[in-house]
A = this chain, B = another copy of it.
C-alpha cells in the first residue's frame, strides 16, 4: 500500500490521499463487518490510559476485537501500572512492546506518544497527549463531515469553546489544511484562544480563518458547528468560572443554525450543549452521536491499515 503509516501520533501524518483511502475503507467495514472479522486474528493491542476516557478507550478495544484481534486494557495507568512505582514511560512502552503488536496511549504529557513511537518497533497510536493532539478524533471528525456532506472541500467550520486546551480542535485544524477552500472560525473566551502554532500552520498552508467572540453571529454563517467542552481539569478555577457557560447551544439559538448545517462535538459534553433528547434524536443537524459511532469504523479502518 502506498502511504502506509508506521504509527499515528500527529494528524499531520494523514495525507489527503490516505484520508480518502481510510474513509472508503471505513464505509466498506461499516457495510460488511463480517468480511473483516478475522483480519487481525492473532494480533494483540495494548491500551494504556493515564487519563480517564469512555469512548476512545472502548472504541479502540471494540474495534480491535471486531477485527478478530485481542486487547489488554489499563484504564488507570497512573495508579495501577508500574508508573505508581516510579517507572518512566520510556521503560513502560519498551516492556509493553514485548507483549503486543500495537500500543494505544493516552498520557497527560505533550509529545508522549511521539516519544514512545521512537522507542519501539511496533505502531503507537496517540489517543491524546495532554494539550497536544488526538489524531484519531480528528480522523473521525473529518470522516463525519465527509459522510454528512458528501465532501469536505469548501465547507465553513466554526470551532467553539476551549480552543487553548482542546486537543481535538488542534488536530482538526491541522487536518482541515489538507482540504481545499475551507474556512475556519474560532470562537473562544479571550483566555482560551487557539494557539499561535495552529494559526501559523494555517497561514503557512493558506487556510483562511477568523477569530470571533459572538457565538450567535457566527452560527448562522457556517456549515459545521464544532462545539467543545471547557476543560475544567486543565485550568485554574478562576479561568474556569470566567469561561463556563459563555457559549451554550440551546433550543433558542438552534433556530439560528442553517437547515443543512451539522452540529458536532467530540463528547463528553456538559452545559455547552443544552438540547432536549427529543431534539437530539430527531433533528438531523444533531450529528454528535453519529460522530461517536463513526469512531468505531474509522478506528477499525486505521487498525486494518496499520496491522493487516
* A62 close to chain B: CB less than 8 A: yes
Q: Are A62 and B53 in contact (CB under 8 A)?
A: no
Is A58 positioned at the interface, with any CB of B under 8 Å from its CB?
Answer: yes
Contact B95 A74 (CB under 8 A): no
Chain A residues touching B, majority SS = helix
Evaluate contact between B44 and A62: CB separation under 8 angstroms. yes
User: Is residue A84 contacting chain B, with contact meaning CB distance below 8 A?
Assistant: yes
- A98 adjacent to B289 (CB under 8 Å): yes
A24 within 8 A of B: no
Instruction: Please measure, in the bound complex, the distance between the C-alpha atom of A269 and the C-alpha atom of B87, giving whole angstroms.
Output: 6
Instruction: Give how many copies assemble into the complex.
Output: 3
Q: Is A54 touching B87 in the complex (CB atoms < 8 A)? A: yes
Determine whether A75 belongs to the interface, using a CB cutoff of 8 Å to chain B.
yes
Give residues 226-255 of A contacting B (CB, 8 Å): 229, 232-233
- What B residues does A289 contact at CB under 8 A? 94-95, 98
Would you call B296 and A62 a contact (CB within 8 A)? no
Which residue in chain B gives the minimum CB-CB distance to A100?
A: B62
The answer to whether A79 and B82 touch across the interface, beta carbons within 8 angstroms, is no
The 6 closest A-B pairs by CB, nearest first: A87-B268, A98-B293, A82-B268, A54-B81, A86-B270, A54-B82
Q: Which residues of A contact B (CB under 8 A)?
A: 34, 37, 42, 44, 46, 49, 52-55, 58-59, 61-62, 65-66, 70, 72-77, 79-87, 90-92, 94-96, 98-100, 119, 229, 232-233, 267-270, 277, 289, 292-293, 295-296
A-B residue pairs in contact (CB < 8 Å), sample of 21? A44-B62, A46-B58, A52-B81, A52-B82, A54-B81, A54-B95, A55-B95, A62-B72, A62-B99, A76-B76, A76-B79, A76-B80, A85-B232, A86-B270, A90-B277, A91-B267, A94-B289, A95-B289, A95-B292, A99-B293, A99-B296
